[in-house]
Amino acid sequence: MPTLSDIEAKVSRGERLVTEDALFLFNHPDLLAVGQLANRVREAKHGDRTYFNKNMRVEVTNVCVASCLFCSFAKLEEGSPGAHTMKLEEAWRELETRMDDPPSEIHIVNGLHPGLPFSYYEDLIKGFKRIKPDIHMKCFTAVEIHFFAQHYKMTYEQVFEKLKAAGLDSLPGGGAEIFHPEVRSRISDDKATGAEWLEVHRIAHRMGLRTNATMLFGHIETFEHRVDHMQRLRDLQDETKGFQAFIPLAFHPDGNGMKNLPAPTAIDDLRTIAVSRLFLDNFDHVKAYWVSSTPDVAQIALRFGADDLDGTIVHETIYQAAGSTSPQGLSYAQLVRLIREAGRIPVERDTLYNVVKEHPRAAMPEAAVKVKDRKAHLHVIGGAS
């Protein structure tokens, strides 16, 4: 059994944590001590810089053949109440109407629709690029890519080749849920397996696409399953270096097949952010997805290991359907303020973490600066960033 100071020493030496360490941290009663350690790693990697982007969510269809227990859109058929599939023009209009202050990224995640031609997706991307040629298209989870490959009878490589030709720039990290078969077989047994999800990302990375990785926590999984999940991601990242950010997503129980489970609480959110920051030493970024955790908790997560808040988002529907009380979008000014009030430096980035604009820090609280001066001797070696 490790102790907190063993782990602290490892972190200071830049030594990789093992499963046992991560489990110890998940079970440690002193949340603040774990958070403080994660914060050291976060600050060693990024200082006070806290990233966000101007992005827009588009969900062109919620029709889905999969029956994931956690999803409020499970097994939704075309024509059912609440089912909706956008016409391409309808999707493009989302961007056209925002061209006075356009997003830099469009993030598209959909249900697994059995009735659309593959060209729909190619045209979808092309259309956005026509409206704004430099827009970054972050589209389709590995689950969708896997579905495309099966449904349209292609290899993953072929799917990517076609989508890249249409304008695909990177992949979001969704659909990962929990990789371990004990859990995955119970919550989403009719879509890409953990191994398939990882294989899609492996190939994406090999083909030059950067991607993110998520983990849906707080339902029926154990801490062991979470660590196993992160271990698989860390192994693939060692191999490909293609992941940008890790994004823990809190399960929301409204209107889905696990509505009797309590939602994970803020404490679990913060702990999961912190442990992932410590365990995933080869990931540059850990994102506090404010839609899942609420902006208030996301702000605190910036002191528990997170360095990214995702973006303005504009129009979010998946968590909304699962009972999230977070707003559907935050304005640019709200995000800057959220970061500044936490004593951090807001940095607008593009999808690939190039700096678009660095904002000045707020005068208060000055804690971050002064604390670092004071703790200068506690040197933290960054991971493979």
Partner 1 sequence: MTVRVAAVGYLNARPLWDKVPVAMPEASLSLASPREVARQLAEDEADVALMPVAAAAAFGDVEMVPGIAIGARGPVRSVVIVSQEPIASLSEIALDLSSRTSVVLGRLLLRRLGTAPKFLGMEPGEIASQVAGSRGALIIGDAALALENKFPHVLDLGQAWFEWTGLPFVFAAWCAREGRIDRAQASLLARAKELGLEERGRLAAEYAQASGLDAASLQSYLHQSIRYDLGDAERAGLERFFLEANRENLLPRAKVRLVGDASAQVAVPEAIDSLLSRASQGERLSAAEGERLFTEASLHEVGAAADAVRARKHPEGVVTYIVDRNINYTNVCTTSCRFCAFYRPVGHAEGYVLSREVLAEKMQEVVDAGGVQILLQGGLNPNLRIEWYEDLFRWMKQTFPLGLHALSPEEIIHIGEIENLPVETVLSRLHAAGLDSVPGGGAEILVDRVRKVIAKTKCRSEAWLSVMRVAHRLGLRSSATMMYGTTDTPRDRMLHLLKLRELQDETGGFTAFFCWDYQHEQGTHILPSQTGTEHYLRMQAVARLMFDNVDHVGASWVTQGPDVGQVALRFGADDFGSVMFEENVVSSAGTTFRIDAAAIEGRIREAGFRPARRNVKYDWLTVPE
Site for partner 1 in 347-366 (CB under 8 A): 364-366
- Interface with partner 1 (CB under 8 A), residue from 267, 352, 355, 378: 267
Q: Is 172 in the site for partner 1 (CB under 8 A)?
A: no
Shortest Å distance, C-beta 250 to partner 1? 10
User: Closest Cα partner for 186 from 141, 219, 150?
Assistant: 219
Closest CB to partner 1 among residues 20, 30: 30
130 in Cβ contact with 124 (< 8 Å): no
Segment contacting partner 1 by CB under 8 A, of 31-39, 150-158, 221-229, 352-360? 31-39
User: Closest Cα partner for 219 from 172, 175, 256, 190?
Assistant: 256
Q: What whole-number distance in Å separates Cα of residue 372 and Cα of residue 366?
A: 10
Shortest Å distance, C-beta 216 to partner 1? 18
Shortest Å distance, C-beta 38 to partner 1? 10
Q: Is 131 in the site for partner 1 (CB under 8 A)?
A: no
Segment contacting partner 1 by CB under 8 A, of 25-33, 123-131, 132-140, 149-157? 25-33
Q: What whole-number distance in Å separates Cα of residue 178 and Cα of residue 184?
A: 6
Segment contacting partner 1 by CB under 8 A, of 61-69, 76-84, 132-140, 266-274? 266-274
Q: What whole-number distance in Å separates Cα of residue 289 and Cα of residue 319?
A: 11
Helices (H), the chain: 4-13, 19-27, 31-46, 88-96, 118-131, 142-151, 156-166, 181-187, 194-206, 223-240, 266-279, 290-293, 295-301, 318-321, 332-341, 367-374
Shortest Å distance, C-beta 265 to partner 1? 5
Q: Is 4 in the site for partner 1 (CB under 8 A)?
A: no
- Per-position DSSP letters for 8-25, written without gaps between them: HHHHHHTPPP-HHHHHHH
- Interface with partner 1 (CB under 8 A), residue from 290, 368, 380, 383: 368
Q: Is 312 in the site for partner 1 (CB under 8 A)?
A: no
β-strand partners of 357: 348
Shortest Å distance, C-beta 175 to partner 1? 26
CB neighbours of 42 closer than 8 A, spacing ≥ 6?
Answer: 277, 286, 305, 306, 307
Segment contacting partner 1 by CB under 8 A, of 81-89, 121-129, 200-208, 295-303? 295-303
Q: Is 20 in the site for partner 1 (CB under 8 A)?
A: no
- Interface with partner 1 (CB under 8 A), residue from 36, 282, 320, 328: 36
- Interface with partner 1 (CB under 8 A), residue from 4, 18, 31, 321: 31
Q: Which residues of 229-263 are buried (b: 16+ CB within 10 A; e: fewer)?
A: bbbbbbebbeebebbbbbbbbbbbbeebbbeeeeb
Interacting residue ranges for partner 1, rule: CB under 8 A: 29-33, 35-36, 39, 262, 265-270, 293-294, 296-297, 299-300, 302-303, 337-338, 341-343, 364-368, 370-371, 374
